[in-house]
Structure 1
Amino acid sequence: MCGRFAMNKETDDLILEFIARGGRAEDWRPSYSVAPTDEAPIIRDRVPKDETGQPGETVERELELAAWGLKPAWSKPGGPAPINARLESVATNGMFRGAFASHRCIVPMTGYYEWQQQDDGKQPYFIHSDAEVLAAAGLYSARKVDDAWNVTFTIITREARDASGEVHDRMPVFLQPDLWTQWLDPAKVTAPDALLHLLELSSASVARSITTYPVARTVNNSRTLDAADPALIEPIELAG
């Protein structure tokens, strides 16, 4: 699974990277520790409605803030809000099927954390690549709550094919740039198996560039750490 990640880029950096509008992400502050229920930037393509309430003719790419933990519009208050969706079942699982069909997004991250149990406790590792930003495949939902839109997201994961396999058996599905536009297309998916195949190939390719190293155990407690502290992702030497 992917249960914590770093996204330490500014809003303007992400807009330039993904060629997106500002959306409502102006309040974003870079974070080295994005945890479940936290807000983080996502990129999505939308077809805005015109003055009559009908869908327009153009697709707009937005950078949007969303809470980590998918809450489909049809779900009941207090119900599950999964942070991950398995690639193997994302197109057929009732929780994710609708979002996979037409509400796909990219979750930018600079890397993510996994943990390995040691005799003296859990040791965190930071998993990343040479790329400044990784584009994780995600799904989103937007529901209106008290006249405000509540946007939530989940990250799609797959069997580990990268360095995280040394620490954990799952990893996020990462997208190569040439797949971004097809993945974000708001049109309903008509060939889910073909899209799943592309995700498999793309994520396997990106995985070859990913490495891992141990970081300080300060990362372990998301409630007490300083999410703005770059030391969270600095490598450390483990005692032999």
Structure 2
Amino acid sequence: MCGRYVLFSDPEIKEIREIIEEVQRKNQDIKIGEIGPTNSAPVLIQKDNRLVAEAIKWGFPKFNGGVHINARGETAAELRTFRKSLEVRRCIIPSCGFYEWTHKKPKIKYQFNLPNEGALYMAGLYNDFDGERRFVILTAEANESIVKIHPRMPVVLKHPEMDQWIGSYQGALDILQSSRPKLIKQLA
């Protein structure tokens, strides 16, 4: 499960800085730093056959209160809450990495990233609820680079997969069924 991620306007990570600036030029409020559920953050969606950044709130509302922050990639196509979004409202969540904590006490917080990359992009879905746009992060079974810390991980997209994720439903299903890249961890 991905319950927190990080987003900084770091001058060294030009692509992330440009996404943040695009949203800020639209006068949309976003959180910078550690992003948690119900925060508004930049999300990439397709408009007019190109990716644009938009401020979207994290979490699909639940009927009994609270929010869904993640959707299991293995079952998203089957569940009413996520099915239509997977078909036509896929998005990409830019980040500078995500956090997970050990389950043993004392809990230790780790940040996960792609090796030799400043940006980490996660597969997501979005939908509108009572006039407010919301997103969730898709998850997969953890690979060997994270499984000792947590059994789930975000569906991390490599750069060449981003167009496939956004542009093709079948391509998105193929990504959800493929193994995800190995990550590196560091103490947060």
Report percent identity of matched pairs: 29
Match among 72, 75, 84 for residue 89 of structure 1: 75
Q: Per the alignment, in what secondary structure is the counterpart of residue 67 of structure 2?
A: coil
One-letter code aligned to 1:35: G
Aligned partner of 1:164 in structure 2 is 146
CA contact (8 A) 2:96 2:118 kept: yes
Equivalent position to 1:66, from 56, 68, 74:
56
Name the counterpart of 1:153.
Answer: 135
Give the 3-state SS of the residue equivalent to 2:175 in structure 1. Answer: helix
Taking the TM superposition and a 5 Å limit, the aligned residue runs for 1:176-187 are 176-185=158-167
Q: Which residue of 2 aligns with 1:35?
A: 36
SS at match of 2:60: coil
Q: Which amino acid aligns with 1:199?
A: L
In the superposition, relative to structure 1, how do residues 212 and 144 fare at CA in structure 2: closer, same or farther (>3 Å)?
same
The structure with more strand, counted as a fraction of residues: 2
Distance in 1 (CA, whole Å) between partners of 2:184 and 2:161 is 22
Q: 1:151 to 1:162 in 2, by over 3 A?
A: farther
Residue 180 of structure 1: CA displacement? 1.3
Partner of 2:122: 136
Paired residue secondary structure (1:99): helix
1:109 aligns with 2:95: yes
CA contact (8 A) 2:9 2:17 kept: no
- Displacement of 1:29: 5.2
Name stretches of at least 5 consecutive residues in structure 2 with no aligned partner: none
Q: Which has the larger radius of gyration?
A: 1
User: Aligned partners of 2:55 and 2:15: how far apart in 1?
Assistant: 15
Q: Which residue is 1:124 aligned to? A: 109
Q: 2:44 aligns to what SS in structure 1?
A: strand
Amino acid at match of 2:111: F
Answer yes or no: is the 8 Å Cα contact 2:42–2:94 preserved in 1. yes
**For each residue in 1:174-223, what CA deviation from the matched residue of structure 2 results, as whole angstroms up to 9, or x when unmatched?**
112222123223x7x3x4xx53223333x52xx22x111233xxxxxxxx
Matches within 5 A, 1:205-224: 207-208=181-182, 210-215=183-188
8 Å CA contact 1:162–1:211 kept in 2: the answer is no
Q: 1:200 aligns with which of 173, 177, 183?
A: 177
Query: Does the CA-based 8 Å contact 1:35-1:68 persist in structure 2?
Result: yes
TM-score scaled by structure 1? 0.67
1:175 — aligned with what?
157
Alpha-carbon RMSD across the aligned residues, in angstroms, is 2.9
Change (3 A) 1:60 1:195: closer
Q: Distance in 1 between matches of 2:103 and 2:140?
A: 21
Kindly indicate whether the alpha-carbon contact (under 8 Å) linking 1:115 and 1:123 is maintained by their aligned counterparts in 2: yes
- Distance in 1, matches of 2:97 and 2:156, equals 11
